[in-house]
Amino acid sequence: MKPTSLAIDVGGQALVLSSLHACFDPVLRALFIADAHFGKDAVFRARGIPVPVGSTAENLLRIDRLIDEFQPATLVFLGDLLHARESLSTLTLDALHAWRVRHASMRVVLVEGNHDRHAGALPHTLEVESVREPWHIGAWALCHHPHSVDHAYVLAGHVHPVYRIATRTDSARVPCFRFGIDRGVLPAFGSFTGGARETGRVLGRGFFWWCRSR
């Protein structure tokens, strides 16, 4: 299914939401992704839980689709790029290195999340800048944990928001964006992640936008 997008205004700043679970600032040419959790399948297998191989390749393919569509100069991961220390497996790192070679001219920044600290440092050969939250770029304060930052609008992850859509006979939980008066939360990008159901309320004036496809 072809991905869809929605152009919005957040505090006077343009932002494009993608149904591929990311958003793009067209002025800064910056692509924002939260909670990729690369190597989560490797972690499960290392801990004796048999799960299929392939989530890392699927996630990287979706990032490639986003790069083809938006042509970003900068890609920022809003925390939890890796899932755990076992994510630093040869299979996962080989896939990440091959992907990085394809996009060698693009700046890649990681705003450290809680899982990143547990996983440990990325190899320098991946050329990913690691920064602490809040990291300011343009009008945004980029974080992993959604909290208020003075004089800036926060874009964050961590929560993995999902929204329940229901009819009289059926229902589905779908990843969603959540925007409030001073912060926005992106859906989890990783295909092998769960989600926390939203109540349908946000503080102040805000809204949800659910992702209809990957």
**Three-state secondary structure string covering 70-88:** HCCCEEEECCCCECCHHHC
Would you kindly state where each structural domain of the chain is located, as residue ranges? 5-153
Output the CA torsion sign for 4, 192, 72, 131. Answer: positive
The DSSP symbol for 124 reads: G
Of 205, 213, 112, the closest CA to residue 157 belongs to: 112
Output the tens digit of pLDDT for each of the chain's 214 residues. 567 899 999 988 999 999 999 999 999 999 999 999 887 555 544 544 444 455 788 889 999 999 999 999 999 999 999 855 665 778 888 889 999 999 999 999 999 998 778 767 888 999 999 999 999 999 999 999 999 999 999 999 998 888 877 777 776 778 889 999 999 999 999 865 555 445 455 444 455 666 654 4
**Which are the contacts of 124, defined by CB distance < 8 A and separation ≥ 6?**
none
Pair 140, 186: CB distance under 8 Å? no
What pairing do the DSSP bridges indicate for beta strands 183-185 and 153-156? parallel
The DSSP symbol for 126 reads: G
